[in-house]
Amino acid sequence: MTAGDAYALGLAVLFAVAAGLVGSFALSKRLLLASDVLSHLALPGLGIAMLIHINPLIGGATTLVLGTLLVWHLEQRTGLAADVTIGVVFSTGLALGALVTPHEHLLEALFGEFQPLSLPAFLLGALAVGLIILFLYRFRDALVLSLISPELASATGVNLSRLELYFLLIFSLTVLVGLRFMGALLASALVILPAATGRRFSGSLSQFLLVSAAASVLAVLIGFVVGRQFFPALGLGPTIVLISALLFVVSLAFGGQQRAGV
């Protein structure tokens, strides 16, 4: 394994930790599927960036942030539920992305590609993961209180609207970290599946967070080994998702009945 491969795998593991933690809160907020489609908002940016020959992550980050802000703004102005506004923006963004993405790069944009990373790129990704974990630690009490009783959270000074925006932006940042090797369609899968697995084995929020992150990291490590050894043409993203789905199936057989407190 080259140094570039080691950096790429290291960032994939860090992404797995962030995805497991963010997914736990998204599941508790019943925003998993709604948040899932946010990852697809990166596709138009990826396509445009490839079309004009700039770094695809710059394009993906731009449309992810703009799409997230648009979703939040529409929800606040129209009063529609988050999943409705996300669905509207998602379908439009996905169609636009399919139109502008060069056909020879479409599969890479959709499903990602494992490529070596430079040290600066690894450090930048690690910084993003650090910001995600710092946010969850800093706003953990507010997030939990908003889950238990939004009215009580509001009465104690929590700005629920702003908190939701922050959470959506953190979700988008998590997706962005994994975009390189998971693609626009699969980046959020590592948020959804490990959280569902962690819920089956957890009896408290702390345990829920720990198990979800562990399941996510395990899926990445096993997916990397299996993909490299047996399915080199399949790509890292699909292999990781299949392993994560297998872990969820195991949780159905041996886990409890969604005992997590939130």
Domain-by-domain residue ranges, the chain?
A: 3-254
For residue 260, what pLDDT is reported?
Answer: 43
For residue 130, what pLDDT is reported?
Answer: 94
Q: What is the pLDDT of residues 199-228, one digit of tens each?
A: 888 778 888 999 999 999 999 999 888 887
CATH 1.10.3470.10 corresponds to the domain 3-254: yes
For residue 36, what pLDDT is reported?
Answer: 64
Name the stretches of the chain with pLDDT < 70. Answer: 31-37, 75-76, 78-87, 89-91, 93-94, 97-98, 102-112, 233-235, 255-262
Structure tokens at 95: 């169609």
Predicted TM-score (pTM) of the model is 0.82
For residue 181, what pLDDT is reported?
Answer: 78
For residue 81, what pLDDT is reported?
Answer: 61
Residues with Cβ within 8 Å of 21's Cβ and at least 6 positions away in sequence, in order, are 132, 133, 136, 209, 212, 213
